[in-house]
């Protein structure tokens, strides 16, 4: 749940600047991935900010596409009514003969399994699948150059555009193919998540539910019900750390000069998605989705 005491500030001008930089660097069409509510930034707002810059948008499902109302590609399994895909001008991702039969009269994309083994058409089955589809493009979920090259080897002779490059392959020209499909690279550095100290104490002994201790502690009004967990933060430019989270509050280390009302920065101001991902042993994608869910969103720019 979102805390009313946490502010998630999203800089849409930064999102747009990132997209412009990607287009300049790659020189190929840009398919902006706005699945999972644009990694928590807000898919409708991001789509509006990228209108006229992104060549099209990629969702995970038809439900996400419906909420935004812009044509594009649905990357996940093609669940739902084919008529709605046609109405919304969304290309389903086809990987099986059964799905090809369901969408036989619609433009589709074929998803090729080049490494992930999640869902996708094995390369050796492409001929049979393509013969039953109105194929507009071929794509894969590639995290390595080798996977992108496997897509090109399997589909390069088929006369349709191919795309494989996620954010992690934007520095690898052989993976760009006919378009790039970034998500994370559009959003890094565009989110700032903050709260404010509600109280500051000099403890006389262990504190909280677990008996943590520190010379000086503060409290801010968000906890594990708001997806906050112990980790690094910034207060008045100094590195501090969350010691313990309750359901609605968190204890944090503070400097003796910090006061109630001072800002607690959970993400931003140099505390990056990559640093937090390393601390929590996860991926920057998860950091964005988690931290954008902690509080109330507001938008700058675009």
Q: What is the pLDDT of residues 59-77, one digit of tens each?
A: 999 999 999 999 999 999 9
Claim to verify: residue 30 and residue 99 sit in the same structural domain:
yes
CA atoms within 13 A on the CB side of 251: 18
Total-model pTM: 0.94
Out of 127, 156, 187, a domain closes at 187
How far apart (Å, rounded) are the C-alpha atoms in residues 3 and 249? 10
Residue 1 lies in a domain: no
DSSP class of residue 101?
A: H
Q: What angle do CA 85, 52, 152 make, to 5 degrees?
A: 65
Residue 3 lies in a domain: no
Which residues is 267 bridged to in the sheet? 193
For the packed helices 12-26 and 43-50, what is the interaxial angle rounded to 10 degrees?
50
Q: What is the pLDDT of residues 181-233, one digit of tens each?
A: 999 999 999 999 999 999 999 999 898 899 988 999 999 999 999 999 999 99
118-147 in b/e burial notation, b at 16+ Cβ within 10 A?
eebbebeebeebbeebebebbbbbbbeeeb
Q: What is the pLDDT of residues 125-149, one digit of tens each?
A: 999 999 999 999 999 999 999 999 9
- Domains held by the chain: number: 2
Claim to verify: residue 88 and residue 133 sit in the same structural domain:
yes
């Amino acid at each position: 749940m979102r805390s009313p005491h946490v502010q998630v500030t999203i800089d849409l001008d930064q999102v747009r600047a990132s997209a412009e930089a990607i287009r300049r660097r790659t020189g190929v069409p840009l398919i902006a991935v706005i699945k999972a509510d644009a990694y928590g930034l807000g898919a409708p707002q991001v789509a509006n900010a990228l209108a006229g810059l992104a060549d099209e948008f990629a969702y995970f499902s038809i439900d996400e596409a419906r909420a935004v109302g812009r044509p594009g590609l649905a990357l996940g399994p093609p669940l739902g009514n084919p008529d709605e895909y046609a109405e919304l001008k969304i290309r389903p991702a086809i990987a099986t003969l059964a799905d090809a039969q369901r969408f036989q009269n619609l433009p589709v994309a074929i998803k090729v399994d080049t490494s992930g083994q999640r869902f996708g058409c094995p390369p050796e089955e492409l001929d049979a699948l393509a013969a039953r589809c109105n194929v507009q493009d071929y794509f894969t979920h590639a995290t390595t150059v080798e996977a992108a090259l496997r897509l090109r080897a399997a589909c390069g002779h088929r006369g349709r555009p191919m795309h494989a490059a996620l954010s992690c392959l934007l520095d690898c020209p052989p993976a760009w193919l006919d378009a790039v499909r970034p998500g994370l690279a559009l959003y890094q550095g565009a989110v700032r998540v903050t709260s404010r100290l509600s109280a500051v104490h000099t403890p006389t002994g262990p504190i909280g539910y677990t008996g943590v201790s520190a010379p000086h502690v503060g409290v801010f009004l968000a906890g594990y019900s708001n997806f906050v967990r112990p980790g690094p933060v910034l207060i008045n430019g100094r590195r501090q750390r969350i010691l313990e989270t309750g359901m609605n509050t968190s204890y944090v280390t503070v400097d003796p000069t910090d006061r109630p009302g001072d800002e607690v920065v959970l993400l931003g101001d140099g505390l990056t998605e990559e640093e937090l991902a390393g601390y929590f042993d996860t991926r920057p994608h998860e950091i964005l989705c988690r931290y954008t869910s902690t509080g109330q969103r507001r938008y700058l720019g675009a």
